[in-house]
Structure 1
């Protein structure tokens, strides 16, 4: 008997969809993985027909690499009661921090503000709006982590 809950499966499917979005869309992934677009789409689908189709771990690693963020792997860790933390031994980004890094962070923060503001216009936030807000927040986190890696790289 499987022990993974429907809520955990849906969380992993949501994270899979987010990784696809962050990585440039589902069509950007087949060259990196062993599966085609239709199979990749099933892994993120909430359709009852594909309820048991969850992304395999090797494909999830490739998707997270393409997304430049451990979105799927983090969802899997949460399902087990854990959270991911950055590897302190990993070398920091050796490139210097630039104004473009600040602009990227501010741009992503602006996108978060816009998504939340637009979602709240009618007084309620629906599932599609939550999905957009989550995507924008993930992009902001990725931009901030990129800038932080450069700062911690010491240049």
Structure 2
């Protein structure tokens, strides 16, 4: 395997983690992809032992498709110089307020879901529908911060 810079490796590992979280975690990703959770965990691990293990391209494409967002394939494209359309924008006070609104939406949806002491399937789906856009904005913020602080 060709060696990546530590910054590139970190970006790919972070994108992999985001993809797993977007579909409901490593166990859910394992079910969706037909690959053991232990193997998938290695793809996300930054430990020295697994730092050179990355998710296969076919799995990255399938995971991004399942999550509805190009976390991994988008990160790969950005590492090659491609630019994704920025919905978060540049790091400005307005962008941070937009992110705050998305995170507030997640919190409100969770509060509504747990209010009666039982979370049903529709409520879980509603929460997930709020989490994914927030995760996308956080991933974009991470990319912006990485560029600004590099």
* TM-score relative to the length of structure 2: 0.57
- Cα pair 1:60 1:72 within 8 Å, conserved: yes
Figure out how many residues of one structure are paired with residues of the other and give that number: 102
The residue that corresponds to 2:134 in the other structure is: 137
| CA distance in 1: counterparts of 2:22 and 2:32, whole angstroms | 15
User: Does the C-alpha gap of structure 1 residues 47 and 136 become closer, same or farther in structure 2, counting only changes over 3 Å?
Assistant: farther
Q: 1:108 aligns with which of 102, 106, 114?
A: 102
The residue that corresponds to 1:63 in the other structure is: 63
Query: After superposition, what is the alpha-carbon deviation per residue over 1:48-103, rounded to whole angstroms, capped at 9, x for unaligned?
Result: 10011101110001111221110111111111111235xxxxxxxxxxxxxxxxxx
| CA distance in 1: counterparts of 2:64 and 2:9, whole angstroms | 17
The residue that corresponds to 2:8 in the other structure is: 8
- SS where residue 82 of structure 1 aligns? coil
- Cα pair 1:33 1:59 within 8 Å, conserved: yes
The residue that corresponds to 2:37 in the other structure is: 37
Q: CA deviation at 1:34?
A: 4.2
Give the unaligned 5+ runs of structure 1. Answer: 86-104, 115-134, 142-155
| CA distance in 1: counterparts of 2:107 and 2:59, whole angstroms | 32
- SS where residue 77 of structure 1 aligns? helix
* TM-score relative to the length of structure 1: 0.55
- Cα pair 1:16 1:44 within 8 Å, conserved: yes
- SS where residue 39 of structure 1 aligns? helix
Q: CA RMSD in A?
A: 3.1
User: Does the C-alpha gap of structure 1 residues 108 and 25 become closer, same or farther in structure 2, counting only changes over 3 Å?
Assistant: same
